[in-house]
Structure 1
Amino acid sequence: MSTIFFNCPNCRIGIEADPSLAGGTAECPGCNSTILIPMPGIDKGMIVAGFKLESKLGTGGMGEVWLAHHTTMDRKVALKILSPGLTSNSEFVERFMKEVRNAAKMAHPNIVTAFDAGVDKGVYYLAISYIDGVELGNLLKIEKIIEEKKALKIIKDIAYALQYAWDEYKILHRDIKPSNIMIDRKGNAKLLDLGISKSLSEDAQLTLSGMIVGTPYYMSPEQALSKPNQDFRADLYSLGATLYHMVVGSVPYDAETAVGILTKHITESLPSPKSVNPNLSESCCALIEIMMAKNKSDRQNSWHDCIRDIDRVFSGMMPNTPTPDTAASFTETREIPSDDGNYTGRLHRFKNFKPRLVTETPPPTVQKINPRHERSETGTQIMRQPSIPPPKKNAGSEENAKQGSSFIENFSNYVKRHFWPIIIFSIIIFIPLSVFFISMIFRSFENLEQELKDIEAKRIIFRIQKQAEPLIKKQEFSKAAELLLQYDGPFAKETLEEREAIAKEYMYKIDKRNIGTSKDSQKQGTTQ
């Protein structure tokens, strides 16, 4: 099997992976996020339990999501496939089947519906409704900032979905973020990916010990610390962080590593949304501050209270819930046995974590460590730079003795002696690294350009279908099909195949109508 080449779904950097890692997870060398290595055995045209795979929609934490055609029902579905690298792990399989059970419970207009699941030829799958619309994460890439009232409507829809999941089944989503929210053609928001939901009514603990589940950019402080007594307010915090991203145009906290981001969620004050986007209302800023309060007791007491506050902000009023002190630190604690220092140790590390950038490196020369290492007051071992031995003094020359005591001249001699090894070593390292990074940059730009083209093509199809809606309502399907086929604007070639497919659907409706008309005519002739 050949080497696997793919792009990180987060930072788009090109990655080369060994075939033996297919279907497993790894850490992206570009953004340090956990990514899934593509499964070479899952390809376009493959049929899984009666679902024919058409195109890959994306990659999640547990597998791939494909647009598929249900041959029996003749409809499009989104098919989630569990990675073959995980099926050998019974805990991951149990977690996948838990997702199936949780998704099957959900029957709400703002939650994506699941209707089939199982195993076919060793492939675990979950079929869910295909939402014809745009992912909120992609919408943010295009528009950067979502208008305040539009953003409030989106989070209100998601709040209704989360209220239903919590009030009816005590289920947490635990990964609320823009990429898990779809906006359909009517502007309604729908919640995706119940793959890492947590039902508090079940005793089984399916996550690994110490494993943090969720996305760091939107994660609540209690979730970052893996506290056991999490409730709906963890999702409420994440929804507030998503609202912040929508109306401000950037995530509330950012850092070079996931640990750095989580640390800021726990210890740093919330950056003022209005300082970044002055057009925001005071009431919207207050709503964000309440939803993202460090201590969950300062957030809304129920989803009902949250929806009420959203409605008040939408009407231009301040939320009913008191606004917390944004400078307050995370102070929640829990009782732990005296012999268990894991939780307090983790909290201490998070609160005292200070990210630092290493800017100095030792010279690329071979250094020997003196057996008698010096230690600081805290016990940390210190490596000293190798001292430069002074030249031997010439007993017969007082002038040479003075020169030997000169530090500057000694240092200069040291550099001269090691000049060429340093230059050769630098060239050997620098040239391959330069070629590698330049190739990665070019590849990233190409992938980004293609992604933007795909998004623009979808927007064009969406706009043409919008123009054809009046014709569809009048049942003028042929004109609607003609409108799609005659488009010759930007990306006409790239969207031709999809436009032809939609036009065929319209022509199929004409045939069905004609068949119905002919049958009516035959019935009338018979009666006569």
Structure 2
Amino acid sequence: MSDKAEVNSIRLEEERLLHALITRGLITEQEVQECRQALPAGQGVSEVLRELVKRGYLTVSQGRRVLRQLDTLLQEQIPGYLLMEKLGEGSMGAVYKARQLSVDRIVAVKILKPQLATNPGYISRFLREAKTAARLSSNNIVQAIDAGAAGKLYYFVMEFVEGRTVKQELENGRVFDEKEAVEIALQVAQALEHAHRRGLVHRDVKPANIILTNDGIVKLADLGLARHTQDRELDKIEKGLTIGTPFYIAPELIQLRTEPDIRADIYSLGATLYHMVTGQPPFPYSDVRKVLLAHLKEKPKPPDQLNPDLSPGLCEVIERMLAKEREKRYHTPAGVVVDLECLLRGEPPKLAQETSSRQQQRLEALKSLAEGELAETEPRDVAYEPPKTSRYPLAWIALLFLSLLLNVYLLFFRRQ
């Protein structure tokens, strides 16, 4: 091996080591940069570890443990990507900001947790998320770039989106004004319509999965629970399970009694929209079981009772989206798009129908108003009442006839 090739090999090992340490959260990208400034590349992994310990970024025991596991660490890196910082962590894995070296662009890399990487079921689910995302190409959905395995490390590379989630905004106490909330919900509905046309259902629409980018674009993220509506094999596996996030889950996804379809996403988007404009989810209980039962049995408080500034049109749209029976919701996200666009134009929704309770209340109010107007304008003595018809007309005729005969007889008898 030439001296140049040997130096490149040493540098590659250093990069892989640093990637591994960042991946495991032992050091940060900033600490890596400081270490590189102090120690020229090509010194070897032992020198890199010594510098990290010297600076206090690793403890002595951590440095020794890393050295013992060096071969494993160097084999478990993602070729072509430089991990920069940890963005967050979920139940299945962690997401990192990274640089794709081949094209020099920033991406997000999701890595399956090491303890789950030995379970075929979790591996299958993780890779299914990547394949599902790859089928979608919408400006309102986070785009898939790459997926695979490097040693025992399973990864999924996707578009990096700068911005804040709706959840972060709500946690800061923000209540969205109606126009902005409708604009956000509209873009999410367009993303869901794109997925629906490809036979997919998201199943986890919620504030945490809606990203508000710095340039005003709304992105729907996290397809970890997404599936094809005709996946019969998955139906058998998931039967009886509860799939989704309690505050926003559709009733039919609780203990999966029926095959899920896009109307479950419409319900979840309705629950999210409700939260955005009222400041609380439809059923804000602290007990998860009570929340799930409420989705099945209770009616949420009308949103305009919590926020009187909301228009009747928006309340009607939300009520239809949150119908318990999915047959009474919008049939597709396209219908939601139509009504939300109406609201943005200042028009009443075209497709939303009021719930029976609200409709009954208004009918009773109109009836009372009409009766009150009639009482003031129409005197009672001119009211027309049709004559009552006897139920026994023949009996009356017979009695009249007998009465007539009796009178004739008496008249004749007196004359005698």
TM category (shorter chain) comes to 0.5 to 0.7
Question: 2:354 is matched by which residue type in structure 1?
Answer: T
Structure 2 residues without counterparts, runs of 5 or longer: 1-22, 30-72, 360-416
Which has the larger share of helix?
2
> Which shows bigger deviation, 254-263 or 274-283?
254-263
Match of residue 353 from structure 2: 322
Match of residue 199 from structure 1: 228
Match of residue 219 from structure 2: 190
Deviation at 1:209, TM superposition (A): 4.8
Q: In the aligned structure 2, how far is the partner of 1:263 from the partner of 1:214?
A: 14
Match of residue 403 from structure 2: none
Q: Does 1:50 align with 2:80?
A: yes
Q: In the aligned structure 2, how far is the partner of 1:315 from the partner of 1:138?
A: 28
Q: In the aligned structure 1, how far is the partner of 2:238 from the partner of 2:321?
A: 28
Matches within 5 A, 1:165-184: 165-167=195-197, 169-184=198-213
Match of residue 215 from structure 1: 245
| Alpha-carbon contact 1:270-1:327 (below 8 Å) kept | no
Q: In the aligned structure 2, how far is the partner of 1:325 from the partner of 1:85?
A: 51
Match of 1:267 among 297, 300, 307: 297
Matches within 5 A, 1:402-417: none
Match of 1:307 among 330, 334, 337: 337
Match of residue 5 from structure 2: none
| Alpha-carbon contact 2:239-2:256 (below 8 Å) kept | no
Matches within 5 A, 1:133-148: 133-142=163-172, 144-148=174-178
Q: In the aligned structure 2, how far is the partner of 1:114 from the partner of 1:77?
A: 10
| Alpha-carbon contact 1:298-1:324 (below 8 Å) kept | no
Deviation at 1:327, TM superposition (A): 8.8
Matches within 5 A, 1:323-338: 323-325=354-356
Deviations 1:322-380 (A, max 9, x none): 1223699xxxxxxxxxxxxxxxxxxxxxxxxxxxxxxxxxxxxxxxxxxxxxxxxxxxx
Match of residue 94 from structure 2: 64
SS in 2 for 1:84: coil
Structure 2-normalised TM-score?
0.66
SS in 1 for 2:84: strand
Greater CA radius of gyration, 1 or 2? 2
| Alpha-carbon contact 1:44-1:53 (below 8 Å) kept | no
**Relative contact order higher in (CA < 8 Å, ≥ 6 apart):** 2
Q: In the aligned structure 2, how far is the partner of 1:102 from the partner of 1:237?
A: 21
Question: 1:192 is matched by which residue type in structure 2?
Answer: A
Distance 1:326 1:124, change over 3 A: farther
Matches within 5 A, 1:85-484: 85-142=115-172, 144-167=174-197, 169-205=198-234, 208-319=238-349, 320-325=351-356
Q: Does 1:84 align with 2:122?
A: no
Q: In the aligned structure 2, how far is the partner of 1:254 from the partner of 1:237?
A: 16
Q: In the aligned structure 2, how far is the partner of 1:143 from the partner of 1:41?
A: 30
Match of residue 507 from structure 1: none
Q: In the aligned structure 1, how far is the partner of 2:168 from the partner of 2:317?
A: 24
| Alpha-carbon contact 1:79-1:125 (below 8 Å) kept | yes
Q: In the aligned structure 2, how far is the partner of 1:63 from the partner of 1:42?
A: 16
Q: In the aligned structure 1, how far is the partner of 2:233 from the partner of 2:328?
A: 30
Deviation at 1:160, TM superposition (A): 0.6
| Alpha-carbon contact 1:270-1:326 (below 8 Å) kept | no
| Alpha-carbon contact 2:201-2:265 (below 8 Å) kept | yes
| Alpha-carbon contact 2:239-2:257 (below 8 Å) kept | no
Deviations 1:260-291 (A, max 9, x none): 11111111111111111111111111111010
Deviation at 1:51, TM superposition (A): 1.8
Q: In the aligned structure 2, how far is the partner of 1:204 from the partner of 1:78?
A: 31
| Alpha-carbon contact 2:25-2:86 (below 8 Å) kept | no
Q: In the aligned structure 2, how far is the partner of 1:327 from the partner of 1:56?
A: 48
SS in 1 for 2:95: strand
| Alpha-carbon contact 2:81-2:101 (below 8 Å) kept | yes
Structure 1 residues without counterparts, runs of 5 or longer: 1-38, 329-528
Q: In the aligned structure 2, how far is the partner of 1:285 from the partner of 1:127?
A: 39
Question: 1:101 is matched by which residue type in structure 2?
Answer: K
Deviations 1:195-238 (A, max 9, x none): 11011233331855532221000001111231232211100000
Deviation at 1:307, TM superposition (A): 0.8
Deviation at 1:255, TM superposition (A): 2.1
Match of residue 438 from structure 1: none
Question: 2:234 is matched by which residue type in structure 1?
Answer: Q
SS in 1 for 2:356: coil
SS in 1 for 2:196: helix
SS in 2 for 1:48: coil
SS in 1 for 2:232: coil
Q: In the aligned structure 2, how far is the partner of 1:208 from the partner of 1:288?
A: 29
Distance 1:91 1:326, change over 3 A: farther
Deviations 1:16-55 (A, max 9, x none): xxxxxxxxxxxxxxxxxxxxxxx85776459522222222
| Alpha-carbon contact 2:140-2:218 (below 8 Å) kept | yes
Deviation at 1:61, TM superposition (A): 3.0
Distance 1:82 1:70, change over 3 A: same
Identity %: 35
Distance 1:275 1:127, change over 3 A: same
Distance 1:149 1:317, change over 3 A: same
Q: In the aligned structure 1, how far is the partner of 2:238 from the partner of 2:120?
A: 12
SS in 2 for 1:85: coil
Question: 1:123 is matched by which residue type in structure 2?
Answer: L
